[in-house]
Chains A and B, each alone.
Chain A
Amino acid sequence: MNEATPYRVLVDCGSTTTKVVLVGDHDGRFGVLGRAEAATTVEAPHDDVTVGLRAALTSLAEETGAPLLTAPDREGDRHLDPHQAELLATSSAAGGLRMAVVGLVRAMTAASGERAALGAGALVSDVLAYSDPEPAARQIQRLRRGEPDAVLLCGGTDGGATEQVVVLAERIAKAELRSRHAAAEPVPVVYAGNAAALAAVTAALGAVPLAAPNVRAVLEHEDLGPARERIHDVFLHHVMSRAPGYPALQALCAAPVEPTPAAFAHALELLVEADAGEVLAVDIGGATTDVYSAGGAGVVRSVAANLGLSFSIGHVCHAAGWDRVERWLTVAMGEQDLRNLVRNKMVRPTTLPETEAELQVEQAVVREALRLALAQHVVVRSDLRGVRPDGPAALRLGRTTPAEGIDWRRVTMVVGSGGPLAHAPQRWQAAAMLVDGLRPRGITALTVDASFLLPHVGVLSRRHRDAARQVLFHDCLRPLGTVVAPLRSERVAVGAPLLRWELRPSDAGETRTGVLRRGELQRLPLYAGASAALHLEPAKGVDLGAGRGVPLQALVGGGPAGVLLDGREEDLERHGRGVPWQTLLQRWRAEMEPGPGEES
């Protein structure tokens, strides 16, 4: 590909839509010049993803006027002109890479395998362990039902357990898994377990697995990188290359096609570089909610399977409890109507909310999905089981402190992505969902990827880091505001002062002061693009991130949500014992909503 092409075309092939973004010179900086989309065409009658891509590129060329395409060929088709544009692509089409993880002990090698698969951008269809009290037949049935594109087999430290690993290999063989992309082809197995057992595992599988260094060569040491690379190879060669038209797509691209979640993670790495803090990002999809923690040690990703807002919206409500979803509604709706509404969304996932009631239901489910997904993320981030607290080994993941929950002192930004957040009718609603669902503590900037650009930015960053950075900050992220909440405040009675605050806008606007009481929510207007110096004096026993009772100063950014001072309980379930819950809900909603004339 010609490095000097004036344009970059960034493609994301989703399950239903292929989106293309044109980036190039935009008033002296690198920016988005136009966007288009077309239906993804991996299924009949087209069976070729490049058909949808060509349709999208044609729309893009028409919309922008950019000379992206060649003259029509003999069949009348026009193609991307490689002298004009470089193509970079991400894909989650055909459901991405579905992977079953099989390990020896659930909390050890199986958990490491799951982390490896998630980190590689896979959707983990199931996790099975030899240690599970479950008959072999049931495990074989689960493997089949999960319809994985690949299996990751882990287990046994190097030179350790062999027999049990071979038993697992035999179960995998017994499942007779066949590729959903090439019916007669067996599903590939990545083996990242006991190196000494490789020959026996190969014999048991009846096929040569793709071998990678053991994810737990010794119990105290987790090495996921090589397994992730192998999984990525599987994605490219056994899923992407089999999906109709993908070899042709890859031939058009200047770099290997990336799984969408991996590209998303690359974009977060740019944010971390610029911000020097940790970033927590959530991506709410139709079937899953992905949560990413990005910091100096890299990106940890978890996928809350079946916690999405369309295909698996029913599961969110079941897992959270219908009463928890109903609690977020200020409109009257009986449980039967709520259940029918949710189920209809599940079977017709592309429908949109029309009324206030329907919107509230959707946003209520978002809150619960975020809460549940974050709880799962914490588990994925947790300390490695099997590591002695006084053990001498370092944790190769780079974490040197246990991660019990999220260390909000280090998180400086929350990024929301996905339809319900990006397309909330009013931006402050997106902030409200993030704050209510994730319950951030300390001082945290809130942003949203309003245009689904993060995967595009991520894939662009692999070849043009500076250009990607410009697109990220100018076109991709939209500031929602800042939220401030104490990390600890248990010694303060409800209704008593939590902190005194002073907000001094950077544009020499009026300085405001006030007091936040425990249980209260306050919104300080500060528009997007503006910043202010925030001085906080916590009450004795209140920790805002610098220690109990220690004052804090920070430069905070504005947005439709302004600066939210959140004195509510971290677990909102604890409210409603005195003042009725509905009264509080109405009060919080009224407080968060911008006033007339304010940016919303």
Chain B
Amino acid sequence: MRRSATTPDDRTSADAAGLAHPSVLARPALLLRRSRRLPIAGEVLVSAGDRVEPGTVVARAAAGTLLPVNVARQLDVDASTAAAAVLVAPGAVVVRGQPLARLHGLAGWLGGQCRSPADGTVREVSPHTGQVLLEVASVALELMALLGGRVVEVAEGRGVDIVGRATLVQGIVGVGGEVVGELAAAVSRHDAVLTSELIGPELAGKVVLGGALVTGSALRRAAAVGVGALITGGVDDADLAELLGHELSVAVTGHEVIRPTLVVTGGFGRVPQDPRAFAMLNRRLGSPAGVRAATRVRAGAQRPEILVSEPDDGGCPADSIPAVGGDARAGRTADLRPGQRVRLIGATHLGRIGVVAGLPPGRHTFSGGGRHPAVEVQVPGGRTLIVPRANVELLDAPGDDGG
């Protein structure tokens, strides 16, 4: 399992479309283009045309803690005098105790020194304030490809664009950093509950496919074993809060330093996964999977996703890439029509999957008193449920059942 320590910063038309319109994508062998960018300037390690694997580090940067040293205050002089007394220049490597600035007094009187409080690198010397900005405790940020394929564009110092073919499954919310690991299953059914007994040391470092719910004890067990990422249909909010160490107040995620990374495909509570998406992932067990859990539920929307790359993209040239966004944006409620496969996302029937049976005109009065445009959805067993049109999401996932 590889972990990428950067803040993910790529968006695709599919991402934006997947939230702006209520649809969820699950597709096998989809040709994708992904932009991978560092959050700060760094170094790109691959070139255009290179073949990369999901775990390939395509760029890296050094991020350190910035420590300002107030030379003026330490020497008890004004800013301009302090600036003139500084001995080091940007880029200089200093050690703890090393003089950063020195005042020359009169025969040893009224002089003074300002020493570095830590080991680090001088990033800046302010001519206005006399402050020296030190970068200490530098941490290497590594940006993984997440998608296996070819590098088609290099953004100098920032990252690359990659084109490749992969099974793509979108989630609804995720937490944790980016992970690449072998895809494995801990359950055999899309509606199973993942309990702690089903998680063993053989799952360490892997991207683990769960069912309808992952329990709190299973999350703790997964953390102890070292599971890389968990994919689940549902999770209880209290258990997620325990994993995070705090409540999830707003769905803007991806910065959390937790283990394992979690991608939720259904919602909160016990929510069976889409059986088609579950089957798609099951067919790719053993393959390297890239997981990006970052979620942003607002303008500029972003959903978490699981990418299971195909071993070979067949050398597909960049300019033959279709507009993925066109397919992913098929999920607008305005486009609801009989025969479409949908998931019910209102609280009452959350997670139930059915087929649009009808779109009655006008507004329907629901039991809570609200009057909304409605949709009739036929669910397994033959029953027809009437729900607000806003309470369904399209499932864009081809299957063998003719849907």
Rounded to whole Å, the gap between the CB of A193 and the closest CB of chain B is 14
Residue among B127, B345, B371 making CB contact with A348, cutoff 8 Å:
B345
**Is A591 positioned at the interface, with any CB of B under 8 Å from its CB?**
no
**Is B368 positioned at the interface, with any CB of A under 8 Å from its CB?**
yes
**Is A170 positioned at the interface, with any CB of B under 8 Å from its CB?**
yes
Q: Is A352 within 8 A of B370, CB to CB?
A: yes
Residue among B236, B387, B393 making CB contact with A340, cutoff 8 Å:
B236
Q: Is A39 within 8 A of B332, CB to CB?
A: yes
CA separation between A135 and B64, bound complex, in Å?
13
List B residues 349-403 near A (Cβ within 8 Å). Answer: 350, 366-372, 387-388, 390-391, 393
Rounded to whole Å, the gap between the CB of A65 and the closest CB of chain B is 21
Residue among B13, B79, B237, B251 making CB contact with A311, cutoff 8 Å:
B251
Q: Which residues from chain A contact B172 at a C-beta distance below 8 Å?
A: 347-348
Q: Which residues from chain A contact B300 at a C-beta distance below 8 Å?
A: 43, 94-95, 180
Q: Is B236 within 8 A of A311, CB to CB?
A: no
Rounded to whole Å, the gap between the CB of B216 and the closest CB of chain A is 11
- The interface bits of chain A over 31-46 (1 if a CB of B lies within 8 angstroms of the residue's CB, else 0) are 0000000010001110
- The interface bits of chain A over 93-118 (1 if a CB of B lies within 8 angstroms of the residue's CB, else 0) are 11100000000000000000000000
Q: Is B297 within 8 A of A359, CB to CB?
A: no
Q: Is B129 within 8 A of A163, CB to CB?
A: yes
- The interface bits of chain A over 417-429 (1 if a CB of B lies within 8 angstroms of the residue's CB, else 0) are 0000001011000
Q: Is A355 within 8 A of B325, CB to CB?
A: no
Q: Is B366 within 8 A of A306, CB to CB?
A: no
**Is B39 positioned at the interface, with any CB of A under 8 Å from its CB?**
yes
Of the candidate stretches A2-10, A312-320, A403-411, A541-549, the one touching chain B is: A312-320
Q: Which residues from chain B contact A45 at a C-beta distance below 8 Å?
A: 13, 17, 323, 325-326, 329
Of the candidate stretches B65-73, B196-204, B221-229, the one touching chain A is: B65-73
Q: Is A314 within 8 A of B129, CB to CB?
A: no
Q: Which residues from chain B contact A340 at a C-beta distance below 8 Å?
A: 236-237, 267-269
Q: Which residues from chain B contact A250 at a C-beta distance below 8 Å?
A: none
Given A176-B40, A318-B247, A423–B20 Cβ distance below 8 Å? Answer: no
CA separation between A145 and B294, bound complex, in Å?
14
Q: Which residues from chain B contact A425 at a C-beta distance below 8 Å?
A: 368-371
Closest to B249 in A: A315
Q: Is A95 within 8 A of B248, CB to CB?
A: no
Q: Is A314 within 8 A of B250, CB to CB?
A: yes
CA separation between A359 and B300, bound complex, in Å?
29
Residue among A16, A145, A337, A347 making CB contact with B251, cutoff 8 Å:
A347
**Is B131 positioned at the interface, with any CB of A under 8 Å from its CB?**
yes
Q: Is A344 within 8 A of B268, CB to CB?
A: yes
Closest to A139 in B: B66
Q: Is B391 within 8 A of A352, CB to CB?
A: yes
Q: Which residues from chain B contact A343 at a C-beta distance below 8 Å?
A: 237, 240, 248, 267-268
CA separation between A339 and B39, bound complex, in Å?
33
Q: Is B268 within 8 A of A44, CB to CB?
A: no
Closest to B365 in A: A425
CA separation between A350 and B39, bound complex, in Å?
31
Rounded to whole Å, the gap between the CB of A519 and the closest CB of chain B is 29
CA separation between A166 and B300, bound complex, in Å?
33
**Is A137 positioned at the interface, with any CB of B under 8 Å from its CB?**
yes
CA separation between A581 and B203, bound complex, in Å?
50
List B residues 236-289 near A (Cβ within 8 Å). Answer: 236-238, 240, 247-251, 255, 267-269
Closest to B391 in A: A351
Q: Which residues from chain B contact A346 at a C-beta distance below 8 Å?
A: 248, 250-251, 297
Q: Which residues from chain A contact B250 at a C-beta distance below 8 Å?
A: 287, 306, 311-312, 314-315, 346
Q: Is A136 within 8 A of B66, CB to CB?
A: yes
Closest to B329 in A: A45
Q: Which residues from chain A contact B370 at a C-beta distance below 8 Å?
A: 352-354, 359, 423, 425
CA separation between A353 and B326, bound complex, in Å?
31
Q: Is A359 within 8 A of B369, CB to CB?
A: yes
Q: Which residues from chain B contact A204 at a C-beta distance below 8 Å?
A: 126, 128
Residue among B238, B248, B255, B347 making CB contact with A358, cutoff 8 Å:
B347
Rounded to whole Å, the gap between the CB of A200 and the closest CB of chain B is 5
Q: Which residues from chain B contact A176 at a C-beta distance below 8 Å?
A: 40
Interface residue count on the A side (C-beta < 8 Å): 59
- The interface bits of chain A over 130-145 (1 if a CB of B lies within 8 angstroms of the residue's CB, else 0) are 0000011100100011
**Is B99 positioned at the interface, with any CB of A under 8 Å from its CB?**
no
Rounded to whole Å, the gap between the CB of B21 and the closest CB of chain A is 8
CA separation between A372 and B249, bound complex, in Å?
15
Q: Which residues from chain B contact A163 at a C-beta distance below 8 Å?
A: 72, 79, 128-129
Residue among A93, A170, A353 making CB contact with B126, cutoff 8 Å:
A170
Q: Which residues from chain A contact B388 at a C-beta distance below 8 Å?
A: 351-352, 354
Residue among B126, B346, B391 making CB contact with A166, cutoff 8 Å:
B126
Residue among B129, B297, B299 making CB contact with A95, cutoff 8 Å:
B299
Q: Which residues from chain B contact A423 at a C-beta distance below 8 Å?
A: 370
Q: Is B249 within 8 A of A314, CB to CB?
A: yes
Rounded to whole Å, the gap between the CB of A119 and the closest CB of chain B is 22
Q: Is B268 within 8 A of A167, CB to CB?
A: no
Closest to A287 in B: B298
**Is A203 positioned at the interface, with any CB of B under 8 Å from its CB?**
yes
**Is B22 positioned at the interface, with any CB of A under 8 Å from its CB?**
yes
Closest to B270 in A: A340
Q: Is B22 within 8 A of A15, CB to CB?
A: no
Closest to B373 in A: A352
Q: Is B367 within 8 A of A336, CB to CB?
A: no
Closest to B240 in A: A343
Q: Is B390 within 8 A of A170, CB to CB?
A: no
- The interface bits of chain A over 179-209 (1 if a CB of B lies within 8 angstroms of the residue's CB, else 0) are 0100000000000000000001001100000
A residues near B (Cβ < 8 Å) are 15-16, 39, 43-45, 93-95, 135-137, 140, 144-145, 163, 166-167, 170, 174, 176, 180, 200, 203-204, 287, 306, 311-312, 314-315, 318, 335-337, 339-359, 423, 425-426
Provide a sorted-by-A list of 12 A–B residue pairs whose CB atoms are within 8 angstroms. A95-B298, A145-B255, A166-B126, A167-B126, A306-B249, A314-B248, A318-B249, A335-B238, A347-B295, A354-B347, A359-B368, A359-B370
Besides the known contacts A136-B67, A312-B249, A314-B251, 15 further A-B residue pairs in the complex with CB atoms under 8 A apart = A135-B67, A144-B39, A167-B129, A312-B250, A315-B249, A318-B247, A340-B237, A340-B269, A342-B237, A346-B248, A347-B172, A347-B251, A348-B393, A354-B366, A356-B369
The 3 tightest CB contacts between A and B, nearest first, are A425-B369, A315-B249, A359-B368
